[in-house]
Amino acid sequence: GESVGLHLPTLSVQEGDNSIINCAYSNSASDYFIWYKQESGKGPQFIIDIRSNMDKRQGQRVTVLLNKTVKHLSLQIAATQPGDSAVYFCAENLETSGSRLTFGEGTQLTVNP
Amino acid sequence: DTGVSQNPRHKITKRGQNVTFRCDPISEHNRLYWYRQTLGQGPEFLTYFQNEAQLEKSRLLSDRFSAERPKGSFSTLEIQRTEQGDSAMYLCASSLNGASRGYTFGSGTRLTVV
């Protein structure tokens, strides 16, 4: 399953499917990006990050893709599990301008068993 | 390392009262950040400290809000004369130097102003 940027904040997939969560970021000068997972009642949990000099980075079951031309990030989750159900946020940072993160809208991922 | 700790987890207060939240960052982290998150939205930056110095404040941080980090370790966020619009989750995060060095969030303090 795949979300469509800021206009579709929910994504429902079957267990075992691959998920793609999309994010449009705002500042073309941002040079560092993070994906966070947030479960109900908890703080954001780091998933994976990527610097602007890369276009792809892989982790365990997750891959982040960065397209600077269109200011777009995506998070791919392989073999999605019920424990992946959460809200996913992308965040951007411009390191030379300080340490604030600017978060995107978020996507609610629901994994059906 | 127990991560970033925030207290209390929940706070219900009457409008007009003052409230104070505490954040204990990861011990070796020199930067500490405060964010506010309302339901269905991403966290919004409020302010950050490097050691005991408050280096940046968002325009969201009205004069009713004050944050301190007196010894460069734990931090407090105080809201004076609370308003219903202050109801939100207040998140603390810490990192070692820049954003790309272990930016870790706590579980937040949920504030409800009635």
Residue B48 to residue A100, Cβ atoms within 8 A: yes
Say if residue A6's pLDDT is above 90.
no
Q: How far apart are CA B34 and CA B27, in angstroms?
A: 17
pLDDT in tens, chain B (114 residues): 579 999 999 999 999 999 999 999 999 999 999 999 998 889 999 999 999 999 999 988 899 999 999 988 999 999 999 999 999 999 999 998 877 777 899 999 999 999
Residue A91 to residue B105, Cβ atoms within 8 A: no
Residue A93 to residue B91, Cβ atoms within 8 A: no
Higher pLDDT, A1 or A62: A62
Nearest to B55 among A43, A49, A98 (CB): A98
3-state secondary structure A12-35: EEECCCCEEEEEECCCCCCCEEEE
Strand partners, A37: A45, A88
Which of the four pLDDT bands, split at 50, 70 and 90, describes residue A104? confident
Burial label for A75, CB within 10 Å (0-12, 13-18, 19+), is buried
Chain B residues with CB under 8 Å of A32 CB are: 99-100
Place of tokens 């609370």: B82
Which residues, at least 6 apart from B81, have a Cβ–Cβ distance to it below 8 Å?
B16, B17, B18, B64
Any chain B CB within 8 A of the CB of A93? yes
| CA-to-CA dists, residue B56 to A93, B31, B68, B71, B106, angstroms | 14, 11, 12, 18, 20
3-state helix, strand and coil shares in percent for chain B, rounded to the nearest 5: 5, 50, 50
Any chain B CB within 8 A of the CB of A100? yes
**Which candidate, A39, A107, A91, places its Cα nearest to that of B100?**
A91
* CA distance to partner chain B, nearest, from residue A89 (Å): 7
Q: Please state the φ and ψ torsions of residue A87, each to the nearest 5 degrees.
A: -95, 135
Residue B41 to residue A93, Cβ atoms within 8 A: no
What confidence score (pLDDT) does residue A1 get?
Answer: 61
